[in-house]
Amino acid sequence: MAHVIAIDGPAGAGKSTIARRLAGRLSYIYIDTGAMYRAVALWALRENIALNDAYRLEQLARAADIGLLPQNRVCLNGEDVTVAIRAADVSAAASKIAAIGAVRSAMVAKQRQMAGAANIVMEGRDIGTVVFPDARVKIFLDADPVERARRRAGDQPDVAPARIAAQIAERDDRDRRRADSPLIQAPDAVYLNSTGLTEDEVEEEILRIVRARISNGKGA
């Protein structure tokens, strides 16, 4: 049976970095769900679709041909949008459309289809609670808000640190308060606070959890 490692947590906790490292270490497939929402958001912005137009956004999400390729490249309808989806306006739009239940349903279907029968590492906000509730390994990766803002500042050197901190706080609030698939820790997820830990230390701790749970035959 295929193994699923589900990593959830708030913005800036280091989910993408550690998920990529784990996938490489274990020879699993890494699925970046955030990039999928960003791809849909990019398409919506290009089509001038209002970010509260649930019907049109759902249709867009279902029609989007999203490919997650080696070297962390992302394709949308045959176009490489790896750089484009990282723009600030796309990030903000992705956060808003991710709160729409119909869009999330369309994305969950795509995420499950991508996983197939392969061993995967998938990170996001609702992987362990909604997408793969029976995942063998569930991690809720967190970090102090100040630390998360500092990490994001390293990726966005042109944005004022105070603005980044405000954006993260806004995203946290939106993710936790949304009615559909809110950001919460699954009851059987292991909580891991990465504040003050190096990437190597976080990776080793999660690998320890993975080995323990897989050897115990827990979950999918």
Tally of CB atoms within 10 A around 145: 16
Fold match between domain 1-28+120-215 and domain 32-117: yes
Q: Given CA atoms 175, 108, 81, 83 in this order, what sign does their dihedral have? A: positive
Q: According to the model, what pLDDT value does residue 95 have?
A: 86
The position carrying tokens 């569930």 is 138
Chain mean pLDDT for the chain: 90
Query: CATH number for the 1-28+120-215 domain, one of 3.40.50.2000, 3.40.50.620, 3.40.50.300, 3.90.1150.10?
Result: 3.40.50.300
Q: According to the model, what pLDDT value does residue 218 have?
A: 54
- Rounded Cα–Cα distance for residues 90 and 86 (Å): 7
Q: According to the model, what pLDDT value does residue 114 have?
A: 84
The position carrying tokens 């559909």 is 180
The pLDDT of residue 185 is above 60: yes
Half-sphere exposure of 41 (CA within 13 A, CB side): 24
Tally of CB atoms within 10 A around 72: 12
Report which of 153, 178, 175 is spatially closest to residue 164, judged by C-alpha positions. Answer: 153
Query: Could you please report the per-residue DSSP string of 83-123?
Result: TGGGSHHHHHHHHHHTT-HHHHHHHHHHHHHHHTTS-EEEE
The pLDDT of residue 189 is above 60: yes
Global pTM value = 0.83
93-128 pLDDT, tens digit each: 998 999 899 999 999 999 998 887 689 999 998 999
Q: Are 28 and 22 in contact (CB under 8 A)?
A: yes
The pLDDT of residue 150 is above 90: no
Confidence band, pLDDT 50/70/90 cuts, at residue 18: very high
52-69 pLDDT, tens digit each: 999 999 999 999 999 988
- Rounded Cα–Cα distance for residues 118 and 102 (Å): 26
- Rounded Cα–Cα distance for residues 55 and 185 (Å): 29
Percent of the chain with pLDDT over 90: 60
Give me the count of residues in the chain.
Answer: 220
Q: According to the model, what pLDDT value does residue 90 have?
A: 95
The pLDDT of residue 219 is above 60: no
Strands (E), 171-215: 190-193
List the CATH code of the domain at 32-117.
Answer: 3.40.50.300
Q: Where are the domains of the chain?
A: 1-28+120-215, 32-117
